Homo-oligomer: A and B are copies of this chain.
Amino acid sequence: MTLDIATRVYNHGFRIDPIIRSLLDTDFYKFLMLQLIREKNPDVRATFGLINRTKSVRIADAIDERELRDQLDHARTIRFQKNELIWLAGNSFYGVKQIFKPEFLDWLADFQLPEYDLHRTADGQYELLFEGPWCETTLWEIPALAIVSELRARAAVKGMSRFELDVLYAKAKAKLWGKIERLRLLGREGPLKIADFGTRRRHGFLWQKWCVEALQEGLGENFVGTSNVKMAMDAGLEAIGTNAHELPMVYAALAETDAALHQAPYAVLKDWAEMYDGNLLVILPDTYGTTAFLKDAPEWILAWKGIRPDSKPPIEGAEEAIAWWASHGLDPREKLIVLSDGMDIDTIEDAVRHFRGRVNLSIGWGTNVTNDFRDCAPDGKDDRLAAISLVCKVVEANGRPAVKLSDNANKATGPAEEIARYRRVFGQDEIARQPVLV
């Protein structure tokens, strides 16, 4: 085989192999939220922090601090490319043209990820904080998670021979394709909509790319898109996503009274509805408990297109939404449920079959598509390759602590006394305690 010496020598010269190479290598909802943040809350400061909910994995032992800094530093050198901004400007999202305003895109052109603050903690974790204007720190969430996730995977495969790596990826490919084949059968039975939501906890960029191409090739029309903007652009797919917990968490943190706190989640939706429409009107109801949210929701929210249950068991969460619509005389068959919390092939099959004909269902498939290497390591030891529950959450807004309760007490974040206050304000109905897997 002829060796391309120039390529080989060029490769020698890499100082690092960058994980993040484009500011579009992030989730689409970040841009929707960012546009809202800049318009409605341009002066709010928000601190994001990395939290490893899988305490048994000591990330700081697995990942070299120098390598982590190099990757974070490299991400800060990246700017939006001209072709990327043109694509954001010229593309239709959810059927809507010019969803991003020219002023917003101009602002993006000069964007740089802000500084970070990194410390090793005594319990073998990293404290990684991003402090600054909310409209800057918010864009760290996905690249920070993707960097830590991929560095952990790189450390896990370090030392494997070329051949062991070959088998590792062969097994992972065969495994994912096995899931896709089951989904093809599922898609033949009736409607099926799957999207890739796996950027944040992916094994690696190239692996996610392979997974997205596999879904595209294997599922055809049943694969409706990816949350990863860069991959959507490169593969000609729809960019998928709406909004996340950071909006109600910041609005809640900024609330001056308990009454304002109670209204904060609805205030978010009000601002959102002023900016977006149609399929982008998807409620994320669980920040402070779904049951409380729905019980006290103002009537205009019934007009929204869908709900994304995110911390109850998926069928239970979706049934609650259906019951809520039905109790208000609405036909759930005209509504949309997005399930995206730790879904995998079994729960996808169950949910799709369970709700067929009753509601429009869309699956956001995350960690279990882009980072499922269980039973793939050739030596049978794949602990170090197992996905962990890593999140990057807003922890403070304008100096006040941010709080999340969710429907699962194990996912609650924030200072204990604030959690107690929030529970008092929102009620504690139906908040269960379930294991957090991914």
Contact = CB atoms under 8 A, between A and B. Distances in A.
Contacts of A167: 173-174, 177, 214
A378 B178 CA distance: 9
Per DSSP, are chain A's interface residues mostly helix, strand or loop, or mixed? helix
A213 interface: yes
A369 to B, nearest CB: 15
A86 interface: no
B2 A10 contact: yes
A181 interface: yes
A174 B163 contact: no
Contacts of A327: none
Given A2-B7, A7-B4, A170-B174, A380 B181 contact: yes
A297 to B, nearest CB: 45
Given A163-B213, A173-B174, A174-B175, 19 more contacts: A2-B4, A2-B7, A2-B10, A4-B7, A161-B217, A164-B217, A167-B173, A167-B174, A167-B177, A167-B214, A169-B170, A170-B170, A170-B171, A170-B173, A171-B173, A171-B174, A174-B174, A177-B378, A181-B378
Contacts of A174: 167, 170-171, 173-175
Interface string A1-34: 1101011001000000000000000000000000
A166 B161 contact: no
A10 B167 CA distance: 30
Contacts of A218: 378
Q: Which of A6, A7, A380 has the most CB of B within 10 A?
A: A7
Nearest to A7: B2
Nearest to A161: B217
A1 B11 CA distance: 10
A177 B181 contact: no
Contacts of A10: 2
A166 B170 CA distance: 9
A96 B169 CA distance: 41
Nearest to A177: B167
B177 A173 contact: no
Interface residues of A, number: 25
A166 B173 contact: yes
A6 B3 CA distance: 10
Contacts of A163: 213-214, 217
Interface string A133-153: 000000000000000000000
A434 to B, nearest CB: 32
A231 to B, nearest CB: 15
Interface string A171-193: 10111010001000000000000
Determine which residue in A2, A167, A175 has the highest number of CB atoms from chain B within 10 A of its CB, and name it. A167
Interface string A365-391: 000000000000010100000000000
The 4 tightest CB contacts between A and B, nearest first, are A170-B173, A4-B4, A174-B174, A170-B170
A78 to B, nearest CB: 19
A6 B4 CA distance: 9
A22 B170 CA distance: 29
Interface in A154-171: 161, 163-164, 166-167, 169-171
A103 B91 CA distance: 75
Contacts of A380: 181
A378 B181 CA distance: 8
A348 B365 CA distance: 41
A152 to B, nearest CB: 23
A163 B161 CA distance: 24
30 contacts: A1-B7, A2-B4, A2-B6, A2-B7, A2-B10, A4-B4, A4-B6, A4-B7, A161-B217, A163-B213, A163-B214, A164-B217, A166-B173, A167-B173, A167-B174, A167-B177, A167-B214, A169-B170, A170-B170, A170-B171, A170-B173, A170-B174, A170-B177, A171-B173, A171-B174, A171-B177, A174-B174, A174-B175, A177-B378, A181-B380
